Chain A
Amino acid sequence: MTRGNGTSALGAVSAGSALRRRLKLLIVDDSNIVRRRIERSQQFDSIEVVGSASNGVEALELFRATDPDLVTMDLTMPQMDGIECIARLVALKPAVRILVISALADKATAVDAMEKGANGFLNKPFTDRQLNEAIAELLRGR
């Protein structure tokens, strides 16, 4: 990421660019259909999808490589589940915003995810509108 130092014209331009830069989104879900759906359906010009992972282990690798600002996170996944992955991502970057997207509709699961550091919860299945509202809510919290 480019950061301006605020002492020169070039620095000011860089700072402006940094402010306007698109937010990086990492999609984590073991379903290829769901990953593609999120990528296709999110309607924010301010968001750039930088990667998608099918389990928690892959998500951690991609997270380190791409440094995303936002993450959509499934919970039931092989190798490393979403709850553990959330805790690890937040430990790496406390400012990351995480939207859980899961079919697990019980309150205990949602509370567990929030306690680990998730910022929002969207139940599967979801409509495009529900997805975009949930992402908008996530952005409002930044």
Chain B
Amino acid sequence: MLQEQELKTFVEGTTNYFEIAAQQPASVGSPYLVTEGAPAVHDYTGIIRISGRREGVVYFTAPKAMLTVLLMKMQENDFSHENMRDLVGEVANTISGNARRDFGNEFVISVPSVLAGEQSQPPRVPGARSFVIPINWRSHSAKLVVALK
């Protein structure tokens, strides 16, 4: 069962990115559980794989429109596909860093990988349920998905 502190670490890693990099905090929507299948993804998804005390994946998935505005807020004027990938990778990297700080060696965390396209699918974790935490920023909404067993 996912513990509250674990969830908090992943959520803070995500909201922290918006607050510092874009100087504008994100808010967290009501979390929900997906018990069958996998939650739908947006245009770009940054993924970290976790093993050790827990096994599974954590990913941040966001629509292109949100990432474009986020890049603008960061004074970036290159809105290329590569920079979109780069950005979700950096968010995943921040989530990973937070997890290493809070969980130490209990969690073995992979280098982030990135998927692009709504048809792409993050790796399934048999036996794990997906907690979906909406991340709202300005008029946009992304998702943080935590699927650990």
Contacts and interface: CB of A to CB of B under 8 A. Distances in A.
Contacts of A123: 97
A103 B111 CA distance: 11
A109 B100 contact: yes
Interface in A83-142: 102-106, 108-109, 123-127
Q: Dominant SS at the B interface?
A: helix
B86 interface: yes
Interface in B64-98: 71, 74-76, 78, 82-83, 86-87, 89-90, 93-94, 96-98
A41 B98 CA distance: 24
Nearest to B70: A33
Contacts of A106: 97, 100-101, 104
A105 B96 CA distance: 9
Interface string B81-125: 011001101100110111011001000000100000000000000
A103 B71 CA distance: 18
Contact of B86 (A32, A103, A104, A127): A32
Contacts of A64: none
Interface in A29-45: 31-34, 36-37, 40-41
**Chain A interface extent, by class:** 20 to 34
Interface residues of B, number: 25
A76 interface: yes
Given A31-B86, A33-B83, A125-B21, A105 B76 contact: no
Contact of A33 (B16, B20, B90, B98): B90
A105 B100 contact: yes
B82 to A, nearest CB: 7
Given A103-B93, A127-B23, A33 B100 contact: no
Contacts of B131: none
B76 A126 contact: no
Given A105-B101, A106-B100, A109-B100, A124 B76 contact: no
A33 B90 CA distance: 9
A103 B94 contact: yes
Contacts of B82: 32
Interface of A: 31-34, 36-37, 40-41, 76, 102-106, 108-109, 123-127
Q: Which 3 A-B pairs have the closest CB atoms?
A: A103-B97, A105-B101, A125-B21
6 contacts: A31-B89, A33-B86, A33-B90, A103-B94, A124-B93, A125-B20
Interface of B: 16-17, 20-21, 23, 71, 74-76, 78, 82-83, 86-87, 89-90, 93-94, 96-98, 100-101, 104, 111
